[in-house]
Chain A
């Protein structure tokens, strides 16, 4: 059993209420931070822990905090990004549903570190019941003196507002989230200025993921140094991975970042291997935006090293033969999965979610979807694969926010690693139209030779 930092108490009955939560050491970090530490000491402790943003980008949380403008005297805000909507990711929901006070506790300590007196949780609108649970947790915390005026008699005051979105993937991007919180369309802003200087209501703002903030109480209670004992190298601590797709045991798992990928995927303790005794074909290891990898390249790097579940190891080989840990959305494909159909599906998603501000993304995502539709439905020509490649090249890096890149990478990596599957769709349009699954090379050959019998 690996170390559990976030989910240790998660299955205790009633842990979503403040009484039970406090019985199990809840809110100790608030007492410690507010009574014994200065805000800067809290920032230093989190810096020492090496905690990296768990939303996807992996930027060190403590460093992000140290950028916030405290000198100008303007109000500062902390926003918790609970807009989890990256396909394959459902880990924040698990934390908030099961143990909402952990997030609230983390937010109080983090707000204290940033010397913020008003903080927000921006939660996606679809999580309606969680929105209510968080308000309940906030009200309980307030009734117990952990929120509001003069918290624990220390003179520090803080309010937390739970704010709901209304269905937009783009609002997970921090500047779009800020725009949305201001009651506008979720159009990302041009950076700089970064939110740490000009964020919400033009004031200094820090936006952190649910999981990052939930790790803060443990770090304060046990020290940043202790956190670095888990994980490996610059990937310290533990991470929640939401595993889904064709595996035997889908769900949310907390793993040590030094865990070998093979163990995570195949052991009974975690994913339990591929469902229905099928073969492992491909994987999207960190939410739909990261490059898709074929099984061999996921289990071992291009130069034959075994991969582990750390930021660095998954990134080894860059975009040519590596991928990213991203948000921890772990989507596994078995031998029956059709990569073309899956790429088309993701392109549809990005076309739908593009805010429409930048032309390369607005036009490009729609164009990619059309071309992929043609390939999947057997009406494309051979040159369309190169066309697709050139479209994604023209989106990548040419947009205000990373949604453009996120739309381009799945397409680029699918062509890079599964080009023959695209070619096959074009070569045998009739089969491509009729058969969406069973596209491992061996299966395909079998299919093609016995075309009249099955399909």
Chain B
């Protein structure tokens, strides 16, 4: 997948910048590249949950790495979103053990309900549905991840509807960011 250019300069809040410095300091001297993945997580939180070309370049500069070193990592890992996503990214597990207990149903139901295809975002930019590989919650299927937490045992339309409603009303969702 290719990263997207926005022509908007990326930046970190002061708090995030301090956190990034703290993370770099964790690793042995000269091994600051190890901090790349954690800092990309921060970059994503700072920039509406996705990584634009500008954000990647900014991280490269911050860590004193070549931009290609950042691009190759950002494109390898599935948690880095290289395209804009909705306010709530609904990551539904569709791997084997979930699939036999309703994982496929959950993904289809969400898409139907929100009137989008997997990978797409609703027009109000509220929800994106994404099928993801095993999240390690096989016994509690069907399930999905939204933000920091897992939502498990979503086996009836009522439970899913209630969760969507609950999410819609969460204006403070950004504060549920995890501390990298």
Chain B 71-85, CB within 8 Å of chain A: the 1/0 string? 011001111100000
- Chain A residues with CB under 8 Å of B100's CB are 245-246, 333, 337, 342
Contact partners of A126 in chain B: CB under 8 A: 79, 135-136, 145
The 0/1 profile, CB within 8 Å of A marked 1, for residues 97-110 of chain B is: 10111000000000
Q: Is the CB of A164 within 8 A of B38?
A: yes
Inter-chain contact A90/B138, CB cutoff 8 Å: yes
- With CB as the reference atom, state the residue of chain A lying closest to B36: A183
Contact B37 A164 (CB under 8 A): yes
CA separation between A166 and B38, bound complex, in Å?
Answer: 8
Q: Does any Cβ of B come within 8 Å of A44's Cβ?
A: no
The answer to whether residues A87 and B78 also contact, given A164-B180, A245-B100, A349-B95 and a CB cut-off of 8 A, is no
Pick from A3-11, A127-135, A443-451 the stretch touching chain B: A127-135
Q: Which segment of B9-17, B26-34, B165-173 sits at the interface? A: B26-34
Residue of B nearest to A250 (CB): B139
Query: Which residues of A are found within 8 Å of B140, using beta-carbon distances?
Result: 90, 250
Contacts A87-B97, A132-B178 hold; do A244 and B138 have CB atoms under 8 A apart? yes
A166–B178 touching, CB < 8 Å = no
Q: Judging by beta carbons under 8 Å apart, are A90 and B139 in contact?
A: yes
Q: Which residues of A contact B38 (CB under 8 A)?
A: 163-164
B136 interface neighbour in A84, A135, A355, Cβ under 8 Å: A84
- From A85, A242, A346, B96 is in contact (CB under 8 Å) with A346
Instruction: Give the interface size class of chain A.
Output: 35 or more
- A168 neighbours in B (Cβ, 8 Å): 76-78
B97 and A88 form a contact (CB under 8 A): yes
Interface residues of A in 71-116 (CB under 8 A from B): 75, 84-90, 92-93
A231 at the A/B interface (Cβ < 8 Å)?
no
Q: Does A264 contact B (CB under 8 A)?
A: no
The interface residues of chain A lying within 8 Å CB-to-CB of B132 are: 167
Write out the residue numbers on chain A whose beta carbons fall within 8 Å of the beta carbon of B80: 166-167
* Residues of chain B in range 140-160 having any CB-CB distance to chain A below 8 Å: 140-141, 145, 148-149
Partner of A125, one of B35, B69, B79: B79
CB-based contact A352/B133 at 8 Å: yes
Q: A86 with B134: in contact, given A164-B180, A182-B33 (CB under 8 Å)?
A: yes
A89 touches B136 (CB 8 A): yes
Provide the bound-state CA to CA distance between A201 and B40, in Å. 21
Q: Are B134 and A169 in contact (CB under 8 A)?
A: yes
Q: In the complex the two chains form, what is the Cα distance from A346 to B101 in whole Å?
A: 15
Contact A244 B97 (CB under 8 A): yes
| B41 and A166 form a contact (CB under 8 A) | yes
A251 to B137, CA, bound (A): 9
Known: A87-B95, A244-B139, A245-B100. A185 touches B79 (CB 8 A): no
* A50: chain B residues within 8 A (beta carbon): none
The yes or no answer to B179 lying at the interface (CB within 8 A) is yes
Which of A84, A244, A349 sits near B141, CB closer than 8 Å? A244
A331 within 8 A of B: yes
Cβ-defined partner of B72 (8 Å) among A163, A185, A341, A349 = A185
Question: A164 touching B41 by the CB < 8 A rule?
Answer: yes
| A165 CB within 8 Å of chain B | yes
**In the complex, A129 Cα to B149 Cα: how many Å?**
7
CA–CA, A282 to B11, complex, Å? 53
Q: Is A213 an interface residue (CB 8 A)?
A: no
In this assembly, does A191 line the interface, its C-beta being within 8 Å of a C-beta of chain B? no
A 281-332 contacts with B by CB, 8 A: 284, 288, 329, 331
> How far is A245 from B35 in the complex, measured between Cα atoms in Å?
37
Q: Are the CB atoms of A180 and B134 closer together than 8 Å?
A: no
Residues of A within 8 A of B97 (CB): 87-88, 244-245, 329, 331
By CB atoms of chain A within 10 A, which of B37, B141, B178, B179 has the most?
A: B37
Q: Known contacts A161-B26, A183-B73; can you find 7 more A-B pairs with CB under 8 A?
A: A125-B77, A164-B38, A169-B133, A183-B36, A244-B97, A244-B139, A345-B99
Can you identify 28 A-B contacts, CB atoms within 8 angstroms? Answer: A85-B134, A87-B95, A87-B97, A93-B136, A135-B179, A163-B34, A163-B38, A164-B41, A166-B37, A166-B78, A167-B78, A168-B78, A182-B33, A183-B35, A183-B69, A184-B33, A184-B69, A201-B31, A244-B101, A244-B141, A245-B97, A246-B100, A288-B95, A342-B96, A345-B94, A346-B95, A352-B78, A353-B133
Q: Which 10 A-B pairs have the closest CB atoms?
A: A250-B139, A166-B77, A183-B33, A167-B79, A183-B36, A167-B78, A244-B138, A128-B178, A87-B134, A244-B139
